[in-house]
Each structure stands twice: as C-alpha cells, then as structure tokens.
Structure 1
C-alpha cells in the first residue's frame, strides 16, 4: 500500500528534491509551496503524513501542525522541518510527531518518516 504524504515547503528546490526522493521510495507525494495552496488540497485524499516547513511565506507550519493535531478525525503524523528554529522552541509551539533540522541527510530524513508511519 502506497502511503500519502502532504508536504508544505516554500523552497522550490527542496520541495522538488523531496518529491523526487520520496516518490522513488514508494510514497505518493502531494507538494504545496504555500499555506494557501495546501488549504485547496483535495479532501478525498487522506494523508498518512504531513511534512511542514516551520516558516512559510503566507503562514506557519507550526500553525498547520496545531490545526492538524487539534482535529479529532486526524490520524496522520506530523513532521516539522526547520532551518532556523531549535527543537525545543518548536515543541513549545506545537507537538509534532517528529522534527528535523535543515539541512538534513536524506537517509536520516527517510528513517524519521518510516519511524512515524510504520
């Protein structure tokens, strides 16, 4: 069964690299560059994982994390990606299932994903 990943990342290069990498690893990736694009997602596609950049041009991955985590119907995991915030800072603002600092090694990144969506 292929797993669905919704990714919100404003850096086009990172978004494309992760899309290609995760697709090659067997995931269905739905990339979004902004919060606005993410809000227009197809509600019929149920994600297994959300990947949110902590800081976005039109919002915050932290706010998206809280929105998802506060939805009682949500079963998907959330990973926050950030270049500027430390894990402790992020955890004070939301409680993701995991966190990864940018830049990151793709094999470490994949292990984190596999760890939250067994």
Structure 2
C-alpha cells in the first residue's frame, strides 16, 4: 500500500500549523515541499518553528545548509539551533521551502504561522 504524505500547498487564514512530512517521525530522503502562505491584505506573516531538527552528519556546525534545509525569504535554516527560528515578512505572503537530499534524515520541523500588523514588528 502506498501512503502519500501531505507536503506543501496553499495556506491561508489568520493562523495555522504546518510540519515536515511524517513529523515528529523522520522525514524521507529526497523530499521537496513548498508552502505558500497568504494572510489577509494589509497584514504581515510571522512563522515560528516550535521544533526544528534538520541536522546532517558533518553539517552540524555549518551555515551552508546545502543538504537538508528550510528556506524562507532567500535564507536557509538547518541544523538544530539553540533557539527555534522566527521569520517575518514585509507583505501578506510568504513562501516556505523544505528540501532534503538523498542522505541522512532527521525529524524535521513543526511551525506555526500567524498574522501580525507590520507596525507591531518589535
């Protein structure tokens, strides 16, 4: 029996949760997911990761993130950071990409997106 994992898609509304495939279990190698988040016009998007486990043997302390990574706003996140990433947008849309290569896999991530007023940034 073939099990199709939900991976990527369009996310809309004020708030929501998305995860890497199979989270909290290990994601599969050679996985590519793309989520397109859209919140109401005039608002901005904030994505906060509550779990983030994308380490690769030999890549634990590198900033390259060329194996398994999450990419948002042209910046890649990987490894097991001491504090989970929080990323904001200047618009009401955000694209989140998850990529894993053919080698070692980890448990992945869980993330929550929410709407905020761009004037409330700090």
TM-score normalized by the length of structure 1: 0.28
Query: Which structure carries more helix by proportion?
Result: 1
Larger Rg: 2
Higher relative contact order (CA 8 A, sep 6+): 2
Task: Indicate the structure with greater strand content.
Answer: 2
